């Protein structure tokens, strides 16, 4: 019980540093894009116009190439603020709160001991060897 409480508190503290709203440039409307720190009405319009003209952005490199004024430094800032391209944050940007929670859950599951009576995967039941005829 205490482990779960500690994990919940640690997850909460860790998630405070992450962006709370994740906005995907391929799905968001102008209002959602404007809600990301660093994206104003002019950039929202540029993103939507480019997306309408040439289709969805494939990745961050494609986004940076097609949207004027977004170099590596600005892309990293926008990613930290919650902007995503095709559901992914920019390399080097912090992990999203959802991804951090998934990582914590995997680590927690790996640390749990096996249930009593459970057989390890390598100890599967083997068919008995053929007995010699009497």
- CA terminus-to-terminus distance, the chain: 58
* pLDDT one-digit tens code per residue, 5-28: 666 655 544 444 444 579 999 999
pLDDT value at residue 104: 45
* Nearest residue to 33 (alpha-carbon basis) of 48, 52, 11: 48
User: Cα–Cα distance between 97 and 14 in angstroms, integer?
Assistant: 8
pLDDT higher than threshold 50 for residue 102: no
pLDDT digits (tens, 9 = 90+) for 38-97: 999 999 999 999 999 999 999 999 999 999 999 999 999 999 999 999 899 987 444 555
Say which residue, 31 or 103, is predicted with more confidence: 31
pTM score, whole prediction: 0.55
d(CA 28, CA 94): 21
Confidence of residue 126 (pLDDT cuts 50, 70, 90): low
The pLDDT of residue 112: 56
Closest residue by Cα to residue 36 from 63, 14, 62, 58: 63
Half-sphere exposure at residue 134, Cβ-oriented, CA atoms within 13 angstroms: 0
> Given this model, what pLDDT does residue 113 score?
53
pLDDT at residue 15 in the model: 47
Delineate the domains of the chain, giving CATH numbers in brackets.
2-108 (1.10.150)
């Amino acid at each position: 019980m205490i482990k779960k409480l500690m994990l919940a508190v640690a997850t909460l503290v860790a998630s405070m540093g992450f962006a709370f709203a994740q906005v995907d440039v391929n799905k968001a409307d102008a209002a959602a894009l404007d809600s990301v720190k660093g994206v104003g009405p002019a950039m929202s319009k540029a993103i939507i116009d480019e997306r309408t003209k040439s289709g969805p952005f494939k990745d961050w490199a494609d986004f940076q190439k097609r949207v004027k004024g977004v170099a590596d430094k600005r892309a990293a800032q926008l990613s930290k603020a919650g902007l995503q391209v095709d559901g992914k944050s920019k390399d080097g940007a912090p992990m999203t709160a959802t991804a951090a929670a998934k990582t914590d859950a995997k680590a927690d599951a790996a640390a749990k001991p096996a249930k009593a009576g459970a057989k390890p995967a390598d100890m599967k039941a083997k068919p008995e060897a053929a007995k010699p005829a009497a």
